[in-house]
Amino acid sequence: MTTDSYEFVIPVYIDDDMSVVYQDISIKGEGAWPKILFDRKQIILPIVPLGFEARATFKIINDGYENLNLEVNIP
């Protein structure tokens, strides 16, 4: 996925006088696709004896989605 570059010039007017441009404002930016990020690249669980539970935690970071609902399916 690639990002898109944008560049705009916005004229600024004073006192609703649209005949004379007071100042031009240049705006530049890049748009990117929304994505889900994690706070670490990998999780390594410790070695434990049979019958014991190994746990690890990580955070899921919402980068660009307005509303996000996640579901978990554990085998």
Q: Each residue of 64-73: pLDDT tens digit?
A: 888 878 888 8
Domain assignment present for residue 73? The answer is: no
Domain assignment present for residue 39? The answer is: yes
Going by their DSSP bridges, the two strands 60-63 and 23-31 should be labelled as unpaired
Domain range spanning residue 36?
4-63
Per-residue pLDDT of 7-57, as tens digits, reads: 999 999 998 888 999 999 999 998 888 888 999 999 999 999 999 999 999
d(CA 34, CA 68): 11
| pLDDT at site 33 | 85
- The tokens of 64 are what? 């660009």
Closest CA to 4 of 27, 31, 22: 31
Domain assignment present for residue 72? The answer is: no
Domain assignment present for residue 11? The answer is: yes
The total of structural domains in the chain comes to 1
DSSP conformation class of 18: T
Assessment of whether the complete model's pTM goes beyond 0.85:
no
